[in-house]
Amino acid sequence: MNKRISHKLCLIFISLIFSTLTYGSDKLRVVATFSVLGDLVTQIGANQIELSTLVGPNGDAHVFQPSPFDTEKVAKADIIVINGLEFEGWIERILESSGFNGKLVVASSGIKAISLKGNHQEQEEHEKHEEHEEHGEYDPHAWHSVPNAQVYVENIRAALVQEDPDRTNFFNEQANNYLKKLEALEQDIRITLKNIPKGKRKVITSHDAFGYLAHEYDLQFYAPQGVSTESEASAAEVASIIKQIRKDNIKAVFMENVSDSRLIRQIARETGAEIGRQLYSDALSASDEPAATYINMMRHNINTLTDALK
C-alpha cells in the first residue's frame, strides 16, 4: 500500500517537473552580448522571453573573457544578439566552443558604419593613432546614434518574430512603442544641442567611443587612447591631446565608466580643463546610477556634454 502511494507520488512529482520544464522552454531563450543590447532586447521581449546578458553593467566588452558559465548560457540559447562590427572579438570562440546552433542576430547589420581609416575630415591626430588599432575596419560603437539604435531594434524585432511567431503581435507592439520613444529621444537631443554653437562642440574623453555620436550630432571628440580600451596610450598621443586642448581652448574633459581615469585626470591637471561628469560609453550603469537603460544613457550623456560645453 505504502509503496503504491510513493509510486504515485513519484509520478506526480515527475510530471510536475516535466510540466515546469516545458513551461520554461515555451519562452525564447535570448543571449545578448552586453548591457546596451540587453536593454534593447528587454524593451521588445519584456517578460515574454528569457534574457541573459554576458557583459553586465559597467563591464568592458572589449576585454571580456567568457567563463564556462557564459558558454553554457550561449549553448542553451535560441537566439544570440551581438553588436557586430568586430566589437565582440571573443564571440567566434564562444560560438564555436559552445556548439551554439540557434539564430545569430547581428544588431548593427544595415547601419551605415563609420570607417576608421577613411574618416579624413577628422583632425590629423585622430587618424594617426587609429592606424595601429586591433579593431576591424569600422568603428563598432554604433549605438551612440539614435537612428542606429532604431535599426538595432528592427533587427531584434525581426529575429524575435521569426523565432517565436506565436507572439508576433506582442513583439510588434512593444517594438513600435519603443521606436516612438526613441524618436522622441532623437528630437530632444537635437533641440538640446541647438543651443551650443558648432565651434564650441569639442570634448576630450578617455577612450574613443563616440564616433557615431560625433558624426550624428556634429560634435568633435578627442581621445588619448585609440578606439579599443586595450591599447596603452603613447606619450605622443597624450602630448598631442594636450596641445589640442591648449590650441582650441577646450573646456571640458570627460571620463567614462570603462576606462582608466588616471590619464584623463593627468591631462586635466596639466591643461586646467575641467573634468566633466562621467559619460557612459560601452556599458550601461548599475540600476542605481543615472544610465541604467539605453534611453537614460543617451539622455545622461547629452545632458552632461551640454552642461560642460555651455
Partner 1 sequence: MLEYLFNPFLEFEFMRRSLLGCLLLSIGAAPVGVFLMLRKMSLTGDAMAHAILPGAATGFLIAGFSVSAMTIGGLVAGCLIALLSGISARKTSTSEDSSLAAFYLISLSLGVMIISLKGSNVDLLHFLFGSTLALDNAALTLLTSVSLITLISFTLLYRALVLECVDSEFLRSVSKVSPIAHYAFLVLVVLNLVSGFQALGTLMSVGLMILPGAISRFWVRQLEPMIALACLLAFAACVIGLLASYYIRLPTSPTIILSLGFAYLFSVVFGRNKGLLTQKTSFN
Interface with partner 1 (CB under 8 A): 56, 58-60, 63-65, 67, 128-129, 229-239, 242, 258, 260-263, 265-267, 269-270
Q: How far apart are CA 244 and CA 72, in angstroms?
A: 48
Q: Cβ of residue 241: shortest distance to partner 1, in angstroms?
A: 10
- Run of H or E residues at 240: helix 235-248
Q: Which is nearer to partner 1, 146 or 283 (CB)?
A: 283
Q: Cβ of residue 196: shortest distance to partner 1, in angstroms?
A: 29
Looking at residue 203, its amino acid is: V
Is the CB of residue 147 less than 8 Å from the CB of residue 108? no
Q: Cβ of residue 60: shortest distance to partner 1, in angstroms?
A: 4
Is the CB of residue 204 less than 8 Å from the CB of residue 245? yes
Q: Which is nearer to partner 1, 97 or 168 (CB)?
A: 97
Q: Cβ of residue 264: shortest distance to partner 1, in angstroms?
A: 8
**165 class by beta-carbon count within 10 Å (0-12 exposed, 13-18 middle, 19+ buried):** exposed
Q: Which is nearer to partner 1, 248 or 270 (CB)?
A: 270
DSSP, collapsed to helix, strand or coil, labels residue 96 as helix
Q: Cβ of residue 129: shortest distance to partner 1, in angstroms?
A: 7
For the chain, list the strands marked E by DSSP: 28-34, 49-55, 79-82, 103-106, 202-205, 220-222, 252-254, 274-275
Q: Which is nearer to partner 1, 45 or 224 (CB)?
A: 224
Q: How far apart are CA 11 and CA 15, in angstroms?
A: 6
Q: Which is nearer to partner 1, 8 or 93 (CB)?
A: 93
Output the CA–CA distances (angstroms, integers) from residue 198 to 54, 164, 203, 219, 254, in the order listed. Answer: 38, 46, 12, 8, 19
Q: Which is nearer to partner 1, 89 or 147 (CB)?
A: 89
Cell (9 digits) for 5: 502511494
Q: Cβ of residue 70: shortest distance to partner 1, in angstroms?
A: 11
